[in-house]
Amino acid sequence: MTFPRMDPMRRVQIVSKAVLARLAAVGADPRDDEQTRQGKALLVLTSVLILPIAVVWGSLYLIFGSPVGYVPFVYALVLLGAIIAFARTRNFAFLLYVSLVDILLAPTLSMVPLGGFLPSGGVGLWGILAPVGALVFSGPRSGLRWYVTYLAVFITSGVAGQIAGAASTLPEWFTSTMLGLNVAVGGSIVFVLIATFLGQRDRAMDALAREQERSERLLLNVLPREIAPRLKAGENPIADAYEHATVLYADIVGSTMLAERLDAKQLVALLNGIFSRFDLLAERYGVEKIRTIGDNYMCVAGVPRLRADHAQAMARMALGIRAYLDELRAAGEDRIDFRIGMNSGPCVGGVIGLRKFVFDIWGDSVNTASRMESHSVPGRIHLTDATYELIRDEFNCEPRGTIEVKGKGPMRTWFLVGERGPDAESPRPSRDERSVTLPLETLGRAERASP
Task: Read off φ and ψ for residue 339, nearest 5 degrees.
Answer: -115, 125
Q: Which residues of the chain have pLDDT under 70?
A: 1-9, 11-20, 333-334, 422-451
Choosing from 215, 247, 275, the residue where a domain stops is 215
Integer Cα distance of 214 and 207 in angstroms: 11
In the chain, how many domains are there?
A: 2
Q: Is residue 288 part of a domain?
A: yes
- Tens-digit pLDDT profile for residues 172-223: 999 999 999 999 999 999 999 899 888 888 888 888 888 888 888 887 777 8
Q: How many CB atoms lie within 10 A of CB 245?
A: 28
Of the candidates 314, 306, 311, 304, the one whose C-alpha atom is nearest the C-alpha of residue 351 is 304
Residues 6+ away with beta carbon under 8 Å from 246? 300, 301, 302, 310, 311, 313, 314, 342, 343, 344, 387, 390
264 and 411 in a single domain? The answer is yes
What is the domain range of residue 68?
A: 8-215
Strand ranges in 259-354 using DSSP code E only, listed in sequence order:
288-293, 296-301, 337-351
pTM: 0.62
Choosing from 215, 242, 269, the residue where a domain stops is 215
206 and 237 in a single domain? The answer is no
How many CA atoms lie less than 13 Å away from 162 in the CB half-sphere?
Answer: 9
329 and 276 in a single domain? The answer is yes
393 and 436 in a single domain? The answer is yes
Residue 12: what pLDDT?
58
Q: Is residue 365 part of a domain?
A: yes
Residues 6+ away with beta carbon under 8 Å from 441? none
CATH number at residue 385: 3.30.70.1230
CB 134 within 8 A of CB 145: yes
Integer Cα distance of 35 and 204 in angstroms: 8
Q: Is residue 182 part of a domain?
A: yes
Choosing from 215, 250, 285, the residue where a domain stops is 215
72 and 205 in a single domain? The answer is yes
Residue 179: what pLDDT?
94
Q: Is residue 2 part of a domain?
A: no
Sequential DSSP letters for 206-226? HHHHHHHHHHHHHHHHHS-TT
Residue 330: what pLDDT?
82
- Tens-digit pLDDT profile for residues 10-28: 765 666 666 667 777 787 7
Query: How far separated are the first and last CA of the chain, in Å rounded?
Result: 68
175 and 311 in a single domain? The answer is no
Distances (CA, A) of 233 to 230, 238, 385, 393: 5, 11, 40, 43
CB 133 within 8 A of CB 100: yes
172 and 70 in a single domain? The answer is yes
Residue 449: what pLDDT?
47
Q: Is residue 390 helix, strand or coil? A: helix
Strand partners, 156: none
